[in-house]
Structures are given as C-alpha cells and as structure tokens.
Amino acid sequence: MGKIILGVTLALLLLVGFGGCGTYNGLVGKSQAVNGQWANVEAAYQRRLDLIPNLVSTVSGAANFERSTLKEITEARASVGSLKITPGQAPATAEEFKKFEQAQGALAAAVSRLLMVTERYPDLKASAAFRDLQTQIEGTENRINTERTRFNEAVQGYNTAAQQFPGVILARLAGFTPKAFFQSDQGAEKAPKVEFNFGAPAK
C-alpha cells in the first residue's frame, strides 16, 4: 500500500511539475511575442521619424513658410530621438510607456499641423516631391495604427495568461509583471488625420 501511495504522489508531483513548466514556457512565449510586436511598432514609428527631415527640407524651400511650424516639428522629432528605450523591448514601466506615447503624440500633432499649414501654399502642394512625401506619411500613419493594434492584442494575450490560474502563481514567483497598453482612446496619442488635396494648382 505504501508503494502505491508513493507512486501516486510521485505521479502527481510530475504532473504538476510538467504543467508548471508548460505554463512558464507559455508565459515566456507570450512575453517574447509582445517584444516582437513592439519591434514592429518601433519600426513603424522610425519610418515616420526618417521621413521628417525630407518633409522639413521640402517645405522650408517655400517662400515665407512659417518658421515656427518648422521649429516645432524639429523639436518634437528631437524629443522622440532622446527617448531611452531598449530597442526591441517594450517599456518596462507604465511611466516609461507614458513618456513614449506623449513624445510620439507630440510629434504626430506637429506633423499634422505642418501639413495643415501647407494648404496655404499652392505651389508647394503642386510639388511632386511634396505629394510623394504626403503619400508616404499617410501610409506610415496607417502602419503605425496597425502595429499598435497588434501590439495591444499581444499584450492582452500575455496579461490574460499571467492573471489566470495557475499562471498567476508562476507569474508572481518568476517576475512576470503586467505590460502596458497603448491608450488609443486618448486624443493626444492618436495618429494624426492626414487629408490630401491634390487638386489643380492655383494659377
């Protein structure tokens, strides 16, 4: 009888152990999925960052173009560039995530305002180079929205696994902390609405 009890006990311990390993590995996999999707988010934002020097260069050639608008977008770009976040790894704290969103939101707003100002310059709007940049910016903003949505989905999957039993126990023991979402309902962090008017240039 003692051997039977011992055998059953060992079997239960092995079952729990294998189950724990599976849960742990699942959390690791979901955490890596979040970081992988974050890398895609960074790539989309970097694309917008890379377009801005060309945009500034193009519009600065327009006669009497508002220098304050160019200064604003240049400073916003510099603020984003100064963010200290490990590449390919989502911000570790809600505070870091908030700073990232605020900086990117300020840059998006600056881009949007610059494009609105260009409506006053028919010759600039008629420029093939400027129209090409507008198209690229529109595509980039759409990509940013897509990657942010996918990132939030990955975070939701991870957070759910880390909060369900028995994952919640392992998560606490192994240091799997909740991850922050993009707060898409806050207007300041929404991607700017970019409207295009490719009508005939003024004569």
> What's the burial of 1, exposed, middle or buried (CB within 10 Å: 0-12/13-18/19+)?
exposed
What six digits make up the tokens of 55? Answer: 């945009």
Per the CB < 8 A criterion, the answer to whether 151 and 38 are in contact is yes
pLDDT digits (tens, 9 = 90+) for 169-180: 777 777 788 888
Per the CB < 8 A criterion, the answer to whether 191 and 137 are in contact is no
Question: Residue 108: what pLDDT?
Answer: 93
Cα separation of the two ends of the chain: 101
Question: Residue 107: what pLDDT?
Answer: 93
CA nearest to 154, candidates 48, 25, 20, 31: 31
Backbone angles phi, psi at 86, to 5 degrees: -65, 120
- Compute how many other C-beta atoms are within 10 angstroms of the C-beta atom of residue 6: 10
User: Structural domain boundaries of the chain?
Assistant: 2-189
pTM of the model as a whole:
0.75
pLDDT digits (tens, 9 = 90+) for 115-134: 888 888 888 878 888 889 98
Question: Residue 11: what pLDDT?
Answer: 36
Q: Cα separation of 170 and 20, whole Å?
A: 8
Q: Supply the DSSP symbol for 181.
A: P
Bin 175: left if φ > 0, else alpha if -120 < ψ < 50, else beta: left
Question: Residue 122: what pLDDT?
Answer: 83
Question: Residue 184: what pLDDT?
Answer: 58
Per-residue pLDDT tens, the chain, 203 aa: give them.
Answer: 555 554 434 433 333 444 457 777 888 898 899 999 999 999 999 999 999 999 888 888 775 677 888 889 999 999 998 887 787 788 878 888 889 999 999 999 999 988 888 888 888 878 888 889 989 999 999 999 999 999 999 999 999 988 888 777 777 777 788 888 887 544 333 444 444 333 433 33
What six digits make up the tokens of 140? Answer: 């980039």
Per the CB < 8 A criterion, the answer to whether 35 and 90 are in contact is yes
